[in-house]
Amino acid sequence: MEYKAFLIKYAEIAVKGKNRFMFEDALVRQVKRALVKVDGSFNVFKTQGRVHVETEDSVDYDEVMDALTKVFGITEICPTIVLEDEGFDKLCQSVNDYMKEVYGDKTATFKVNARRARKNYPLVSMEINAKVGEKILDAFPNMKVDIKKPEIWVNIEIRERIYVYSQAVKGACGMPVGTGGKATLLLSGGIDSPVAGYMIAKRGVVIDAVYFHAPPYTSERAKQKVVDLAKIVAKYSGPMKLHIINFTEIQKYIYDACPEDELTIIMRRYMMRIAETIAKENKSLGLITGESIGQVASQTMQSLLCTNEVCTIPVYRPLIGFDKQDIIEISEKIGSYETSILPFEDCCTIWVAKHPVTKPNVNIIKKHEQNLSEHIDEMFEKAVSSREIISID
């Protein structure tokens, strides 16, 4: 069957009350955005409780599904046939044609599930169910009715036009991007931060990303890897700006002026400060990191306290209670894992201490940061103002 229409379902819970139109409009926008990269032209519009995707072109089903399954806010995508209302007999005939094409002589149980969004249709749902069911039984000797646990739900939605479908592909769920403000993701080349970005975008949040690199100690290829990861996250979150900060000078200065075992913590405090400066410029309401308690020395509760202490906006850490294996599973699911494990150096790993503090004390860290004098402010300004900004879409 060559499908030219898709019915998109979303969770009713998200669209209660006054926010309903906002949610639906954001979903329509995100669906349109996702389909831009698919060959063909699409008409995307909403009716009561549904978003519709229709085309007159011959489109690649897998490509359409690949795009739609990455749109947050969708619970199910149902490839459907669309019929004009040409009377009930014609409807029954069309349903049987549909069943023949999709299921042939398959032996299966089914149930007809009619729903009238248009109440002036001459038959009520129960009558439609019974009569269409009979016609299916007449035409397909291998089909049986099972009203409790049917293998096939034959759905008929009566709207301005009539939609018949029996298949559903699971959507990405969550909330449409654009319904939840904006946040700035600290995106490294690792496994965790792309997953963290994905998870926050899933709640409807628009994302910008910041990457700290340290040329010539970190290579162009390491940077390209982060660009590639941003592109993978953007498949779900939509376009983002990737801010690339040259961190070399600051990192070197910290290395020269601060105790070795505190390098990572002090460096991370500077990353957060810079990320927050950029976040405020681009009107982000929070930062996002891929931190998880205890994963490394810089992610103990004491270290997180120290890192967090420099931030004045919320830091969202969606992976905070996740085991590495759980994070890997999500990264495999969203398609970032293969890129994340490419073996390029990261700026955090270049100047690492053999024995970093695992229980840093904020007051001591602050005292040692005073070694950095006013030069650090100039370096900070320079790192922010000379950043490269790449548009990812």
* Residue among 191, 229, 250, 379 that touches ligand ATP (CB under 6 A): 191
Residue with tokens 């998880």, as numbered in its chain: 292
- If phi over 0 gives left and psi between -120 and 50 gives alpha, with beta otherwise, what is residue 171? beta
Using the minimum distance from each CB to ligand ATP, give the nearer residue, 348 or 379: 348
Number of H helices, E strands in the chain: 14, 15
Q: Is 264 in the site for Mg ion (CB under 5 A)?
A: no
**Which part of the chain contacts ligand ATP (CB under 6 A), choosing from 63-71, 105-113, 147-155, 289-297?**
289-297
Minimum gap (Å) between residue 188 Cβ and Mg ion: 4
Q: Which of residues 252-271 bind ligand ATP (CB under 6 A)?
A: none
* Residue among 171, 190, 238, 286 that touches Mg ion (CB under 5 A): 190
Using the minimum distance from each CB to ligand ATP, give the nearer residue, 188 or 284: 188
**Which part of the chain contacts ligand ATP (CB under 6 A), choosing from 82-90, 158-166, 231-239, 288-296?**
288-296
Contact residues for 113 (Cβ-Cβ < 8 A; gap 6+): 129, 153, 154, 155, 156
* Residue among 24, 208, 276, 346 that touches ligand ATP (CB under 6 A): 346
Q: Are 243 and 213 in contact (CB under 8 A)?
A: no
* Residue among 28, 158, 187, 234 that touches ligand ATP (CB under 6 A): 187
Q: Is 30 in the site for Mg ion (CB under 5 A)?
A: no
Q: Is 186 in the site for ligand ATP (CB under 6 A)?
A: yes
Contact residues for 322 (Cβ-Cβ < 8 A; gap 6+): 292
Minimum gap (Å) between residue 347 Cβ and Mg ion: 9
DSSP E strands, the chain: 5-9, 42-47, 50-55, 76-83, 108-116, 143-145, 152-158, 162-165, 169-170, 182-186, 206-213, 240-246, 287-288, 315-316, 388-392
Beta-bridge mates of residue 116: 158
DSSP string for 17-41: GGGHHHHHHHHHHHHHHHHTTSSS-
- Summarize as ranges the residues that interact with Mg ion (CB under 5 A): 188, 190
- Summarize as ranges the residues that interact with ligand ATP (CB under 6 A): 186-188, 190-193, 210-212, 289-291, 295-296, 298-299, 346-348
